[in-house]
Amino acid sequence: MPRKPRMFVDGGIYHVFCRVTRREPVFEDRRAAEVFVDQLAKIKARDEFVLFAWTLMSNHYHLLLRTVGVPLSRTMASLQVGFTKRFNRFHGLVGPFWQGRYQAILVQDQRYFDQLLAYIHLNPVTAGIVDDPALYEYSGHRELLGHSKLGIVDIGETLSVFDSSIGLARRRYTRALRGARDATWIGEAPGHLPWWSRAQPRVGNLVGGNRRTEVPFVDELGRSTETERPRIEAPDFVSRACRTMKWRLVDLTGPSQIRDVVRAREAIALVGFELYSIRLKDIANALHKNQDTASRWLSRGAQRRREDDGFARVVEILDERVSSADGEEEIDGSSD
């Protein structure tokens, strides 16, 4: 039986969870824990999702995040597969590391969001590892308190849920955690939590922004902002991208290192891989390059999108035009 496709809502907030195969306490090894945190930081920097809370336990992790453009499935594949490759390479192992695909559920309202902040950051307390969550190294709680400069949690957006003043917001946040310690759901496994045990919500029922924060769950009217993207094979995708960016295929497949040619390749790799789920190997083949080269395009393109508004706009328009019926409408492929 084919897998049920995951719901992806661009701008949706998710509780994401996954466990190590056979529930082995792999992350009790500090080196493994630090590799996971490093991988999380790298993928967050690349995909620019908003991270509200996280914790890494001995054999599983929890994330509370909001997607920003890049599909959740792509982000999580990069996190889990990337970590597995690094872990297996270091230990000389082969085979799966995780128990299965990550689990994710859309956060439907502010109450669940508030409960999740407490649930995730109190995980080390309910597990009996520490009495104070501030004593646990591998979670976002210390960042929210200003005790860590790891830089993974989006502190301002998270604390804005509690107050516009960061000092008052921190006090209200810590009071919320203290108040949650005796909640009936605080020690439950994810599958038994109130927001997990209910059926998956329909997109039309999602709640929009709330009065305490301007962070929307989907958009201001609670509508899905998901873009319907067609399934495109790599050669067709590259052909459409060339037309819309006003490049000939031969210009991009040749040896040229002219700035605009390089950036066009980076944009194609970024959009094709992240938004159309095309394998890097197939993108590379369509451009007559090897996979390592395409991987460098992807990495540089993700960084350039963060630093160059012009390039970010090229990526955005390329996605829109390739999604159209014929992909014929042209754009200026330079980022100037």
Predicted local confidence at residue 201, as pLDDT = 40
Instruction: Examine the domain organization and report whether 71 and 190 are in the same domain.
Output: yes
Q: Does 28 score more than 80 pLDDT?
A: yes
Instruction: Examine the domain organization and report whether 47 and 150 are in the same domain.
Output: yes
Number of domains in the chain: 2
pLDDT in tens, 188-200: 888 788 777 654 4
Ordered alpha helix ranges (H), 127-258: 141-145, 155-159, 166-180, 194-197, 234-245, 249-253
> Which token pair is 292?
């390592």
Distances (CA, A) of 79 to 24, 38, 222, 315, 327: 19, 10, 28, 22, 31
Let me know if residue 287 belongs to a domain: yes
Instruction: Examine the domain organization and report whether 49 and 169 are in the same domain.
Output: yes
pLDDT band at 109 (very low <50, low <70, confident <90, very high): confident
pLDDT band at 128 (very low <50, low <70, confident <90, very high): very high
Instruction: Examine the domain organization and report whether 135 and 280 are in the same domain.
Output: no
Let me know if residue 227 belongs to a domain: no
Q: Does 235 score more than 90 pLDDT?
A: yes
Higher pLDDT, 331 or 68: 68
Instruction: Examine the domain organization and report whether 112 and 198 are in the same domain.
Output: yes
Q: Does 212 score more than 90 pLDDT?
A: no
Q: Does 306 score more than 80 pLDDT?
A: no
Let me know if residue 277 belongs to a domain: yes
pLDDT band at 35 (very low <50, low <70, confident <90, very high): very high
Predicted local confidence at residue 31, as pLDDT = 95
Strand partners, 51: 65
pLDDT band at 329 (very low <50, low <70, confident <90, very high): very low
In the listed set 189, 205, 221, which residue is the last one of a domain according to the structure? 205
Let me know if residue 313 belongs to a domain: yes
Instruction: Examine the domain organization and report whether 183 and 50 are in the same domain.
Output: yes
Higher pLDDT, 328 or 293: 293
- The domain that holds 269 is classified in CATH as 1.10.1750.10
Instruction: Examine the domain organization and report whether 60 and 132 are in the same domain.
Output: yes
Instruction: Examine the domain organization and report whether 151 and 197 are in the same domain.
Output: yes
Which residue type, as a one-letter code, is found at position 287?
Answer: L
In the listed set 205, 226, 249, which residue is the last one of a domain according to the structure? 205
Instruction: Examine the domain organization and report whether 239 and 164 are in the same domain.
Output: no
Instruction: Examine the domain organization and report whether 74 and 131 are in the same domain.
Output: yes
Mean pLDDT of 93-118: 86
Cβ atoms of 242 and 252 closer than 8 Å: yes
Mean pLDDT of 145-167: 89
Concatenate the DSSP letters of all residues of 7-46 into one string: P--TT-EEEEEEEBGGG--GGGSHHHHHHHHHHHHHHHHH
Let me know if residue 275 belongs to a domain: yes
Let me know if residue 44 belongs to a domain: yes
Mean pLDDT of 91-110: 84
Which residues form the domain of 301? 234-323
Most confident segment among 114-123, 202-211, 327-336:
114-123
In the predicted model, what is the mean pLDDT of the chain? Answer: 82
Predicted local confidence at residue 248, as pLDDT = 93
Let me know if residue 166 belongs to a domain: yes
What separation, in Å, do the N-terminal and C-terminal C-alpha atoms of the chain show? 49
Cβ atoms of 16 and 107 closer than 8 Å: no
Cβ atoms of 59 and 127 closer than 8 Å: no
Instruction: Examine the domain organization and report whether 33 and 171 are in the same domain.
Output: yes
Concatenate the DSSP letters of all residues of 198-258 into one string: SPPPPGGG----BTTB---SSSTTS-----------HHHHHHHHHHHHT--HHHHHSS---
Mean pLDDT of 301-327: 80
Mean pLDDT of 9-33: 88
Cβ atoms of 244 and 329 closer than 8 Å: yes
Predicted local confidence at residue 44, as pLDDT = 94
Most confident segment among 40-44, 214-218, 292-296:
40-44
Cβ atoms of 150 and 33 closer than 8 Å: no
pLDDT in tens, 63-90: 999 988 788 888 998 999 999 999 998 8
In the listed set 190, 205, 220, which residue is the last one of a domain according to the structure? 205
Let me know if residue 59 belongs to a domain: yes
Q: Does 39 score more than 80 pLDDT?
A: yes
Mean pLDDT of 131-146: 96
User: What's the chain's Rg over C-alpha atoms?
Assistant: 21
- The domain that holds 65 is classified in CATH as 3.30.70.1290
Q: What percent of the chain has pLDDT over 90?
A: 47
Higher pLDDT, 199 or 248: 248
Q: Does 29 score more than 60 pLDDT?
A: yes
Instruction: Examine the domain organization and report whether 161 and 258 are in the same domain.
Output: no
